[in-house]
């Protein structure tokens, strides 16, 4: 594997960052994960715009997007995979131990690896932990990911691929690494950004392309939903066929199947929508 680190491609053994990097010591960093197809990244411009928004939300300098594009192109050329996961990480760089930042430049890393295509269906669970919609980092894609690791591990122990969370006032929010959509009375809904969920790239495209409504919903809406699906850059739209102990069918429902069809057509026609 070849990795872009601070201006150059490096072998994986030499692509190292300091133990004093603020992204390691306190999670002071942001990142993006992109789907790649035949050596090309999907929705790169939208991901770079969100990377900048997240960096600004943490108070980091704006990333040099020309360099980020060079980094992505370099690792994609060095690691030609049919279907992959491209990760861009941008941290606060070298800093003293503690929460204060240092004067060093931020660290930029880009890497790509092969990733299997997701199945059309999956199982999810709900968990007792919540998203804090009033957090200083609500809606930012930061490297402070420990709560997602804990919730996702709980989902795996229950035989599911994702965990869904409410926010602090009991409203439906998101998954650990996905957005959630529900069908109620035949209409497609997803929680608004005010719920504290991430402004997912795939979420935004589904809202635009399939006409989903952004609706403030109680967490219990999951119990009444006729269909549920989750979205992310690597999942696209993925039907939920088991939610906790409730079976929702053996395959995508009619609304979900149509969303999946629309997304495949639209994404296939424009690599950078």
- CA torsion through residues 207, 227, 239, 129, sign: positive
Cα distance between residue 250 and residue 248, in whole Å: 7
Residues of the chain with pLDDT below 50 are none
What's the pTM value of the predicted model, to 2 decimals?
0.96
Site of tokens 């201006």: 7
**Contact status, residue 182 vs residue 171, Cβ threshold 8 Å:** no
Backbone φ, ψ for residue 53 (5° rounding): -60, -40
- What's the pLDDT score for residue 22? 97
Reading the block at residue 8, the tokens are 């150059």
Residue range 7-19, pLDDT digits in tens? 999 999 999 999 9
Cα distance between residue 74 and residue 77, in whole Å: 5
Reading the block at residue 164, the tokens are 């869904």
Torsion of CA 188, 119, 247, 156, to 10 degrees: -110
- What's the pLDDT score for residue 169? 98
Give Dmax (Cα) for the chain: 55
Cα distance between residue 119 and residue 112, in whole Å: 21
- What's the pLDDT score for residue 261? 98
DSSP the chain: -EEEETTEEEETTT----TTBHHHHS--EEEEEEEEETTEESSHHHHHHHHHHHHHHHTPPPP-HHHHHHHHHHHHHHS--SEEEEEEEEE--B--SSSS--SSPPEEEEEEEE-PPPPSEEEEEEEEEEE-TTSTTTT--BS--HHHHHHHHHHHHTT-SEEEEEETTSBEEEESS-EEEEEETTEEEE--GGGT----HHHHHHHHHH--EE---BTTHHHH-SEEEEEETTTEEEEEEEETTEE--SS--HHHHHHHHHHHHHHHH-S--
Strands 107-114, 40-41: pairing is unpaired
Site of tokens 């639209």: 266
- What's the pLDDT score for residue 166? 98
Backbone φ, ψ for residue 247 (5° rounding): -90, 130
Backbone φ, ψ for residue 48 (5° rounding): -70, -35
Reading the block at residue 218, the tokens are 């109680």
């Amino acid at each position: 594997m070849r990795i872009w680190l601070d201006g150059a491609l490096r072998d994986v053994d030499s692509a190292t960052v300091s133990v004093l990097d603020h992204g390691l010591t306190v999670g002071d960093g942001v990142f993006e994960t992109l789907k790649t197809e035949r050596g090309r990244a999907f929705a790169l411009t939208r991901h770079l715009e969100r990377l900048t928004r997240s960096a600004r939300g943490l108070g980091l300098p704006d990333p040099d997007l020309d360099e980020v594009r060079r980094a992505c192109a370099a690792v994609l050329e060095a690691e030609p995979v049919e279907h992959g996961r491209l990760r861009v990480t941008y941290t606060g760089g070298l800093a003293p131990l503690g929460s204060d930042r240092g004067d060093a430049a931020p660290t930029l890393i880009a890497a790509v690896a092969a990733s299997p295509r997701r199945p059309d269906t999956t199982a999810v669970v709900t968990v007792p932990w919540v998203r804090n919609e009033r957090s200083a980092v609500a809606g930012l894609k930061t490297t402070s990911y420990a709560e997602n690791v804990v919730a996702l591990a709980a989902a795996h122990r229950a035989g599911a691929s994702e965990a869904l969370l409410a926010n602090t006032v009991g409203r439906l929010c998101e998954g650990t690494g996905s957005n959630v959509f529900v069908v109620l009375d035949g209409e497609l809904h997803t929680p608004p950004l005010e719920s504290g969920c991430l402004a997912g790239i795939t979420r935004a495209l589904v809202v635009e392309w399939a006409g989903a409504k952004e609706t403030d919903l109680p967490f219990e809406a999951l119990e009444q939903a006729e269909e549920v699906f989750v979205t992310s850059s690597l999942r696209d739209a993925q039907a939920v066929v088991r939610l906790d102990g409730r079976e929702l069918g053996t395959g995508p429902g009619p609304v979900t199947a149509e969303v999946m069809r629309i997304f495949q057509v639209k994404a296939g026609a424009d690599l950078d929508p």
